[in-house]
């Protein structure tokens, strides 16, 4: 049966003009055209940087019962290492790559030809240009300052990032080690790139011009002061969430984590809330992109998965988008209304990262963090 399916698929591909043209042709197909080809392929492998792929898997297999979606939850940094190793070995395990950490993805995966862009034609006219090129962004994710709203019912306990460098917050700011997670290095890099805003915020907070000392700019000065103030490094965002959000704390710390982790408050017993009004900005907002693996073994099913991940025609995108239609994630499709419980995107003050600029400055900021540890 399986062989027959493969034979049918080969026949279909042959009819459509051979492998060389097939990809280009596939890129223009709507889901109903992709479906018979995808069903002939029978299976599709997705590398995903979020554990929510488990929910996507269940929803996808319900929508397309003849296709087995194999979802693997692999962090962005590890995906990059794995995809590079696989490319070097001449092996393509993944069909779809769902990943953040775009500064590295653009240079080391896209430019190296390890992944290729694909924009699902069904929704192409409903995604702004900036989120379609160089790679299709499914949503925007965040690393922002969060606090415990149970212990701080009146709102965020800090109004300016520079407060985190003062005695009040000594040993009470939690971040993931920026040398272990790319997203956090991107956050530190953005703080350096936003040095002018940081300098202005310093004057706002302390009422005096910033004295840089040996630092090259206000961003570097902030990072140095933060580390000197005994910032606590942990190894995963869930550690930050538990530390900051855990209910029943009298004097909880604050920390940088994903705004969307607020969705787990009820389930995990947390009280996470974003400090959106903090000056100059609570953190960064960055795209989560979907792409095809170069030489994907199941090209039609891969495209069908990306189409599915972009959401269906119902009001909030249906089951494919449901795991991501939560407060704190910003879906890129313009026709999907913003999540009612979240700060609207245009009021959300986090910095939008520019992947190319971040990529340039990243290594130097990494070195700075290294000297401070």
CA-to-CA dists, residue 10 to 3, 13, 66, 95, angstroms: 10, 5, 18, 18
Rule CB under 8 A: say whether 243 interacts with other proteins: yes
Rule CB under 8 A: say whether 233 interacts with other proteins: yes
CA-to-CA dists, residue 17 to 7, 28, 29, angstroms: 15, 14, 14
Rule CB under 8 A: say whether 174 interacts with other proteins: yes
Exactly one of 34, 41, 163, 181 binds other proteins (CB under 8 A); that residue is: 181
Coil, helix or strand at residue 198: helix
Pick 7 or 370: Cβ nearer other proteins: 370
- Residues in CB range of 241: below 8 A, 6 or more apart: 146, 255, 257, 261, 264, 268, 270, 272
- Enumerate the H helices of 108-248 as residue ranges: 182-193, 195-206, 218-228, 237-245
Rule CB under 8 A: say whether 157 interacts with other proteins: no
Exactly one of 144, 234, 271, 304 binds other proteins (CB under 8 A); that residue is: 234
Rule CB under 8 A: say whether 43 interacts with other proteins: no
Pick 33 or 150: Cβ nearer other proteins: 150
Rule CB under 8 A: say whether 63 interacts with other proteins: no
Q: Identify which of 271, 278, 287, 260 has the alpha carbon closest to the alpha carbon of residue 342.
A: 260
CA-to-CA dists, residue 269 to 39, 144, 243, 244, 272, angstroms: 41, 20, 11, 11, 10
Q: What is the dihedral of CA 104, 107, 113, 117, to 10 degrees?
A: 70
Rule CB under 8 A: say whether 81 interacts with other proteins: yes
Pick 236 or 354: Cβ nearer other proteins: 236
Rule CB under 8 A: say whether 78 interacts with other proteins: yes
Rule CB under 8 A: say whether 143 interacts with other proteins: no
Rule CB under 8 A: say whether 40 interacts with other proteins: no
Hey, CA dihedral for 59, 64, 66, 72, is it positive or negative? Answer: negative
Rule CB under 8 A: say whether 88 interacts with other proteins: yes
- Can you give the binding site for other proteins, defined by CB under 8 A? 45, 47, 51-52, 54-55, 58, 70, 72-75, 77-78, 80-82, 85-86, 88-91, 93, 104, 108, 171-172, 174, 177, 179-182, 185, 232-236, 238-239, 241-246, 249, 252-253, 267-269, 363, 366-367, 370-373
């Amino acid at each position: 049966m399986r062989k027959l399916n493969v034979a049918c698929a080969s026949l279909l591909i042959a009819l459509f003009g051979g492998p060389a043209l097939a990809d280009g042709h596939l890129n223009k197909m709507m889901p109903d055209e992709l479906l018979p080809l995808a069903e002939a392929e029978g299976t599709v492998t997705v590398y995903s940087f979020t554990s929510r792929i488990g929910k996507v898997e269940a929803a996808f297999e319900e929508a397309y019962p003849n296709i087995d979606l194999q979802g693997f939850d692999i962090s962005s940094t590890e995906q990059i290492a794995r995809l590079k190793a696989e490319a070097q070995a001449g092996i393509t395990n993944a069909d779809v790559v769902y990943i953040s950490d775009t500064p590295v993805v653009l240079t080391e995966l896209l430019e190296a030809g390890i992944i290729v862009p694909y924009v699902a034609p069904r929704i192409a006219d409903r995604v702004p240009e900036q989120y379609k090129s160089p790679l299709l962004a499914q949503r925007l994710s965040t690393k922002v300052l969060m606090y415990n709203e149970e212990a701080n019912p009146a709102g965020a306990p800090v109004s300016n990032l520079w407060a985190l460098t003062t005695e009040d917050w000594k040993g009470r700011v939690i971040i993931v080690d920026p040398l272990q997670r790319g997203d956090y290095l991107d956050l530190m890099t953005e703080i350096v790139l936003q040095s002018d805003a940081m300098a202005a915020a310093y004057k706002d907070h302390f009422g005096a011009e910033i004295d840089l000392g040996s630092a090259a700019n206000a961003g570097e000065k902030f990072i140095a002061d933060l580390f000197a103030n005994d910032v606590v490094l942990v190894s995963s965002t869930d550690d930050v969430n538990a530390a900051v959000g855990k209910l029943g704390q009298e004097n909880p710390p604050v920390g940088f984590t994903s705004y969307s982790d607020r969705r787990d408050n009820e389930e995990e017993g947390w009280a996470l809330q974003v400090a959106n009004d903090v000056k100059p900005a609570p953190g960064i907002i960055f795209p989560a992109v979907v792409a095809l693996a170069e030489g994907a073994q199941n090209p039609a099913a891969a495209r069908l998965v990306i189409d599915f991940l972009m959401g269906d025609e119902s009001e909030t995108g249906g089951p494919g988008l449901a795991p991501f239609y939560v407060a704190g994630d910003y879906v890129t499709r313009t026709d999907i209304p913003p999540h009612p419980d979240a700060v609207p995107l245009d009021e959300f003050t986090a910095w939008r990262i520019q992947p190319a600029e971040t990529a340039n400055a990243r290594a130097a900021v990494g070195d700075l963090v290294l000297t401070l540890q």
